[in-house]
Structure 1
């Protein structure tokens, strides 16, 4: 670690967090100790924290005070995560309908936030200093797993208007001091991508952070132009906010000559899991309770895939209790070779809208269609939209102004119908541009069909 990085991580960043009234440093120090605790100690401490959290929520949050009364429950009835099944789920519509009742009327640090809305209408909610401090601390802990720290040179590829709109003079100065450079992930034409590539080469960052689709696109462009991105001193590429596909991981790793560390979470649900150097996704266990449920809302055992539901215990002033993320995953009971005792999220398979449904009702991941297009060399990029069980649209951008000849069109239609059903209409056509979602994310598969 360089002297400057030590100065930033040990003095400048802690001072920055203190001025913002964040308790980040103390939380990070606690997390770095607890990640090595025996599992039974972790569980015992989390149960105590859950009890305190529920007690505070019932005292201060009108929505949950009324909910507990209607259900005939008291805070003492919630002693462990298993008891949370007595409480209703929280979803986006419930938050919208009960926004004021979900706020602590005595809270002084609540700030308004919203999701990017990449899967529909943005969710508006509130975050407190407590929640932000824990989120930053969780990310900081995971960053240090990879032998990098705040103050090391960083390139951030991001597309959220929330972040990009906050680039005032104070923030620009802070980022300069912390050696973090933002490149906007909106409207990435080839000219801009080549400029980003030269900026990365000139900066020689220790780490990358951003959307996997953006770094995959940058890597592809560098390879197409014969630009060497290895040996720049990049230690790790942190990717988050989108599903990381295996082909993206391979391309980023090969091109930049560094490992890829996946992060899973959201602005609403918080940082749920981070990948360690041993390749496992460790849960933010001290802060979060993660349930996996089936389509009927019933809890599923370890190893079975279902919807991810999150209770964030650093949200006492605007609670997220049994919040339905819409994402699909499974928990694991295996131990990680890294030695950390934090439980593992075994699989993260994207949002429910990343899955497509065949004419016979079979549910399959969008990868089953993605790989059909990935194997066609003339295709530069694409987007698959399942409008209904009977109709799927395939948008293509071809390389080097290639034509969509009949053989290619017929091959795509035939292979898609093999997956979805011979009676399904497959509309294949070329477009000039495939823009990112409003959030800045790129989604390769969107299904507007819901399973029964």
Structure 2
């Protein structure tokens, strides 16, 4: 499809039909990013008051907390960050256990059930509305424009896909092609498939590649091993997401694909959060999110210090996430955008990393392929999957009160659908899952070695460095 038709006709028509105000919000974002920092924070305060009014009127769990904090929601004066901090923080367990009391089912446009990727080991089912969807889409569109990539221009996604396509999935595939989007399955990265992916990317002539950081690095390592020479003159950027991007991964991806890497930060529960600029800065989507960086005692950290990202989703009316502890670790920064935008700057995103899984036929799969199976099982509070061999998998599982023994065969069937029918799955129920010796929690661990030439793409031993340091190393 010609990019002009996709950008000006098909994409806006699609968003209008599903009642998402994506392009309206995109126009607002293009203007608001140039506000000064105080003006941005005043806009945040106005949106925060509107969100708290929604939470007070429609979400009993939030109403009680707002009342106890003594927050004044009348009048037009914007709230401040100090006002917000009168509320206690919330976490995934709060959102899980009190979902019904914090969800506005009557939100305009409808409330849609969704779930997190489960990479934290704690799957979360929650609701989001059309404004959250629009915020995610419009935020990415604006960030792409920072790199010279326009809406509707060819884009390849290296992303997760179901084992078998149902009718809805086939409709989505047709929609993707009309919007000039090609989706390649990151869960099926066998050598043969990766050869096909490289050919498809070459033929599609994308302006942007988008996918999991580790999967993109794996594909780049495969291309290098095969001595595949990619010629992609239209490619403006490779956008990575889902996990930390390490310096050696970035260098490999940039060398193989011949374009700079731009890292994205976000999560399913909070949504699209931040994106890297061509200048190497990570800019927060400040119009949609208030970010606090807090220490273990819940106090703000100082300039340059690491802390937990605690976020308030200003477009989360369906199920408000207010002072939500994400579990992600970031570095506090008081820097300003080098191009003059008023958006807040994130010094560094540590985040979480995942591992690869090797299927019994040798295909290399992103860890989310098995995470998706476990997160969908009712009654799973926490989990850890350990791949001992290509045919032996152990699942450590902490059951919740809704756990039923009938879930065991569901887990086995789901994992065998991903890993192969001959794979033996042992399930162990525990009261708690101990962390690694390092003190870190890893939720998918594979002891199956990757081919030597591909190890660089899956190496997660190094700690991610700041983006400025990464640029120098690359």
* TM-score interval, normalised by the smaller of the two chains: 0.7 to 0.9
CA 1:6–1:163: 2 relative to 1, 3 Å: farther
Aligned match of 1:100 = 100
Aligned match of 1:408 = none
Please state if 1:301 is matched with 2:302: yes
Q: How does 1:324-339 map to 2 (within 5 A)?
A: 324-339=325-340
Q: How does 1:134-149 map to 2 (within 5 A)?
A: 134-149=135-150
Q: How does 1:80-95 map to 2 (within 5 A)?
A: 80-95=80-95
List gaps (5 residues or longer) in structure 1.
Answer: 355-365, 367-379, 384-392, 398-419, 422-427, 435-440, 447-452
Q: Could you say which structure has the greater relative contact order, defined with CA pairs below 8 angstroms and 6 or more residues apart?
A: 2
Aligned match of 1:363 = none
Tell me, yes or no, if the aligned pair for 1:138 and 1:271 is still in contact at 8 Å: yes
How many Å apart are 1:230 and its aligned residue? 3.7
Aligned match of 1:184 = 185
Structure 1 window deviating more from structure 2 (198-207 vs 225-234): it is 225-234
How many Å apart are 1:302 and its aligned residue? 3.1
Aligned match of 1:350 = 351
CA separation in 1, counterparts of 2:321 and 2:276?
A: 23
Q: TM-score, normalised by structure 2?
A: 0.73
Structure 1 window deviating more from structure 2 (305-314 vs 32-41): it is 32-41
Q: How does 1:223-372 map to 2 (within 5 A)?
A: 223-351=224-352
CA 1:21–1:225: 2 relative to 1, 3 Å: same
Aligned match of 2:3 = 5
SS in structure 1 of the partner of residue 193 of structure 2: helix
CA separation in 2, counterparts of 1:84 and 1:429?
A: 42
Aligned match of 2:25 = 27
Q: TM-score, normalised by structure 1?
A: 0.76
CA 1:71–1:294: 2 relative to 1, 3 Å: same
How many Å apart are 1:196 and its aligned residue? 1.0
List gaps (5 residues or longer) in structure 2.
Answer: 356-363, 368-385, 391-436, 439-444, 452-456, 463-474
How many Å apart are 1:177 and its aligned residue? 0.8
CA 1:103–1:321: 2 relative to 1, 3 Å: same
Aligned match of 1:431 = 448
Aligned match of 2:471 = none
CA 1:55–1:302: 2 relative to 1, 3 Å: farther
RMSD (CA atoms): 3.2
SS in structure 2 of the partner of residue 122 of structure 1: coil
CA separation in 2, counterparts of 1:46 and 1:429?
A: 43
Q: Over residues 35-93 of structure 1, what are the superposed CA-to-partner deviations in whole Å (9 max), with x where a residue is unaligned?
A: 11122221222212212221221122111112223445443698212222221212111
CA separation in 2, counterparts of 1:382 and 1:317?
A: 31
CA separation in 2, counterparts of 1:180 and 1:382?
A: 21
Please state if 1:79 is matched with 2:79: yes
CA separation in 2, counterparts of 1:234 and 1:284?
A: 24
CA separation in 1, counterparts of 2:284 and 2:264?
A: 10
